[in-house]
Structure 1
Amino acid sequence: MAESAEDRYARWSWIHETAVMTGWNFAALGSRLRADDPPWDFELTCAKAMARSAACLDMGTGGGERLRDLVRRVSAVGGFLGRESILHASEGWKPNLDVATSALAEYGIEVREYDSEIGDPMPWPDDFFDLVMNRHESYDPAELARVVKPDGGFLTQQVDGTEASEFRLWFGGRPETPQNRLGPRLNELEEQGFTITDADAWTGTMEFADVEAVIEYLAYSPWDVPGFTVADNLVALDRLAARRSPIEVTQKRFLIVAER
Structure 2
Amino acid sequence: MKSQEYKSFYDIVGALNGWDFSKVRWISEGMEWNFYVEVGKRCTSSDILLDIGTGGGENLLSIASKAALLVGIDLSHAMIETARNNKRKAAASNVRFVQMDAGMLQFPEAFFDLISCRHSPFRASEVARVLTDDGVFLTQQVRECDKTNLAQAFGRGQSSREDGSLMEDYKRELRLAGFRDIQCAEYDAVEYYEREEDLIFLLKHTPIIPGFGQEESDFRILQQFIEEHRTDLGIRTNSARFMIVARK
Specify the TM-score bucket, using the shorter chain as the normaliser: 0.7 to 0.9
Displacement of 1:158: 1.7
The amino acid of 1:65's aligned partner reads E
Check whether the contact 1:53–1:130 (CA below 8 A) recurs between aligned residues. no
C-alpha distance after superposition, 1:15-63 (max 9, x if no partner): xx99x7513131222x2x2233532343333123221653211222222
Does 2:131 match 1:148? yes
Check whether the contact 1:23–1:100 (CA below 8 A) recurs between aligned residues. yes
Match of 2:9 in 1: none
Q: In structure 2, do the counterparts of structure 1 residues 36 and 26 end up closer, same or farther at CA, with 3 Å as the change threshold?
A: farther
* 1:179-194 matched pairs, under 5 angstroms: 181-194=166-179
The amino acid of 2:70's aligned partner reads L
Q: In structure 2, do the counterparts of structure 1 residues 168 and 89 end up closer, same or farther at CA, with 3 Å as the change threshold?
A: same
Does 2:6 match 1:22? no
User: Which structure 2 residue ranges, 5 or more long, are not aligned?
Assistant: 1-11
Task: Find the residue that maps to 2:19 and give its secondary structure.
Answer: coil
Match of 2:118 in 1: 135
Of residues 95, 98, 102, the one that matches 1:109 is: 95
User: Which structure 1 residue ranges, 5 or more long, are not aligned?
Assistant: 1-16, 75-80
Task: Find the residue that maps to 2:63 and give its secondary structure.
Answer: helix
Displacement of 1:252: 0.6
C-alpha distance after superposition, 1:206-244 (max 9, x if no partner): 2123443322210011x2111222503244233234345
Check whether the contact 2:104–2:126 (CA below 8 A) recurs between aligned residues. yes
The amino acid of 2:118's aligned partner reads R
Match of 1:38 in 2: 31
Match of 1:54 in 2: 47
Match of 1:203 in 2: 188
| Cα distance in structure 1, aligned partners of 2:47 and 2:152 | 46
Of residues 208, 223, 227, the one that matches 1:238 is: 223
C-alpha distance after superposition, 1:64-107 (max 9, x if no partner): 222222123x3xxxxxx4xxx33211122322212212333531
| Cα distance in structure 2, aligned partners of 1:34 and 1:47 | 23
Taking structure 2 as the reference length, the TM-score comes to: 0.79
Q: In structure 2, do the counterparts of structure 1 residues 249 and 242 end up closer, same or farther at CA, with 3 Å as the change threshold?
A: closer
Q: In structure 2, do the counterparts of structure 1 residues 151 and 242 end up closer, same or farther at CA, with 3 Å as the change threshold?
A: closer
| Cα distance in structure 1, aligned partners of 2:190 and 2:159 | 20
Task: Find the residue that maps to 1:228 and give its secondary structure.
Answer: coil
Match of 1:249 in 2: 237
Displacement of 1:133: 1.3
Check whether the contact 1:210–1:241 (CA below 8 A) recurs between aligned residues. no
Question: How many pairs does the alignment contain?
Answer: 227
| Cα distance in structure 1, aligned partners of 2:223 and 2:85 | 41
| Cα distance in structure 1, aligned partners of 2:46 and 2:242 | 23
Taking structure 1 as the reference length, the TM-score comes to: 0.76
Of residues 201, 208, 219, the one that matches 1:224 is: 208
